[in-house]
Amino acid sequence: MKLFKRGFLVLAIFSLLAMLLTGCGAKQQAGENNEQSEQAEKVFVNIATGGTAGVYYPLGGAMAEILNKNIDGVNATAQSTGASVANINMLKDGSVQMAFVQNDIAYYAANGTEMFKDQKVEGLKGLATLYPETIQIVTLDKTGINSIADLKGKRVAVGAAGSGTEANARQILNASDITYDDITVQYLSFAEAASNLKDGNVDAAFVTAGFPTAAIQDIAAQHNVVLLPVPGDVADKLMQDYSFYTKVTIPAGTYPKQDSDVEAVSVMSMLAVTDAMDEQLAYNIAKAIYSNLDALKAAHSVGAMITKEKAQEGMSIPLHPGAEKFFNE
């Protein structure tokens, strides 16, 4: 009897334990399944921008926030990069799903020309064009440099390696009969160019970005900056060879102590994706961005130039079908 009782007790405890264990196990498994399905539903949108002292970077941060707030299941983040050319390569290898790029660089990539010669990027699609990016050639008044011709023999920051800026610098110098052999070329981000210009380690810097650009504001806060003009004849020559340039004026007062207008050329910034992005996601992204333009304005003053009406101006590659659907509805 005693034995029987003890046996029964042991059995009862075992079965209770077993029940508890399997119960817990089942619960845990259910928890894991939930996490897995949540993860499966999360769509990651990594956004390639540019250097931290440019315009792509703050706008990209604002866009990531817009996407996170407005599209269910999207996990968007913006990252600092070497800008346009590097961004297209990141789109191509799938490390980002969306990128800020210049419309000229996007065209070269989609058509396999210039820096993408023999390396045509298949499936590159446009979401929207954004705002003009002006090629600003910055120096300090104390360098005595007054024109592009004066850059001969000088140390010139031509943008980060892999930037659109670098391509613009090369093309503008060439149109002015200057090659990289005539200058000391420095591949620097906008922030690096600004600090090197301030420290006297470079003489001038090319900055292709919406103005005012943080890097130039930073230099101008401590020094008298001079913006070198791109004269009309150089602009004409440039536009003959490269159709994406347009003539613009950098108005007096864009930067402290800049008291006259400066002739310049600009290209357009745009958002690029690939055909790997599904139509609904591209549609949702376009819709979220164009329904929250105030947040872009708050991130940078060029945000005021981003409108649905202008979103096709200067588009240099085929539109993604999702964006086409959004802009045509």
Instruction: Cite the beta strand spans of the chain per DSSP E.
Output: 43-48, 74-79, 98-102, 124-140, 155-157, 184-186, 204-209, 225-227, 246-250, 262-274
Select from 103, 134, 139, 165 the one that contacts ligand GLU (CB under 6 A): 165
In angstroms, rounded to a whole number, what is the distance separating the alpha carbons of residues 201 and 219?
13
Residue 102 touches ligand GLU, criterion: CB under 6 A:
yes
Q: Quick check: 319 and 125 in contact, CB under 8 A?
A: yes
Choice from 45, 47, 56, 202 touching ligand GLU (CB under 6 A): 56
**Under rule CB under 6 A, residue 202 binds ligand GLU:** no
Which residue's entry shows tokens 């498994």?
A: 29
In the complex, minimum distance from the CB of residue 247 to ligand GLU, in angstroms, rounded to a whole number: 18
Compute, in degrees rounded to 10, the torsion defined by CA atoms 233, 234, 236, 240: 140
Residue 280's CB: how many other CB atoms inside 10 A? 11
Residue 159 near ligand GLU by CB under 6 A? yes
135 and 265 in contact (C-beta within 8 Å)?
A: yes
CA distance 33 to 158: 51
Q: Is 192 in the site for ligand GLU (CB under 6 A)?
A: no
**Residue number with CB closer to ligand GLU (61 or 164):** 164
Contact region with ligand GLU (CB under 6 A), list: 161-169, 258-266, 271-279, 310-318 = 161-169
Cis (ω within 30 of 0) for the bond into 231?
no
Stretch of 12-20, 52-60, 178-186, 227-235 contacting ligand GLU, by CB under 6 A: 52-60
- Per CB under 6 A, the segment of 119-127, 157-165, 179-187, 321-329 that binds ligand GLU is 157-165
- Of the candidates 155, 185, 189, 190, the one whose C-alpha atom is nearest the C-alpha of residue 170 is 185
- Residue whose CB is less far from ligand GLU, 64 or 71: 64
**Is residue 208 close enough to count as binding ligand GLU by CB under 6 A?**
yes
Note whether 47 and 127 are within 8 A (CB). Answer: no
Contact segment (CB under 6 A) with ligand GLU among 46-54, 122-130, 136-144, 195-203 equals 46-54
Rounded Cα–Cα distance for residues 25 and 36 (Å): 16
- In the complex, the smallest distance separating the C-beta of residue 54 from ligand GLU, rounded to whole angstroms, is 2
**Residue 87 backbone class (left: φ over 0; alpha: ψ -120 to 50; beta: rest):** alpha
Residue 322 touching ligand GLU (CB under 6 A): no
State which residue, 107 or 326, has the beta carbon closest to ligand GLU: 107
In the bound state with ligand GLU, the residue whose beta carbon lies nearer, of 84 and 258, is: 84
Q: Considering the complex, what minimum distance in angstroms separates the CB of residue 315 from ligand GLU?
A: 16
For position 316 contacting ligand GLU by CB under 6 A, the verdict is no
Residues that bind ligand GLU (CB under 6 A): 50-51, 54-56, 83-84, 102, 133, 159, 163-165, 208-209
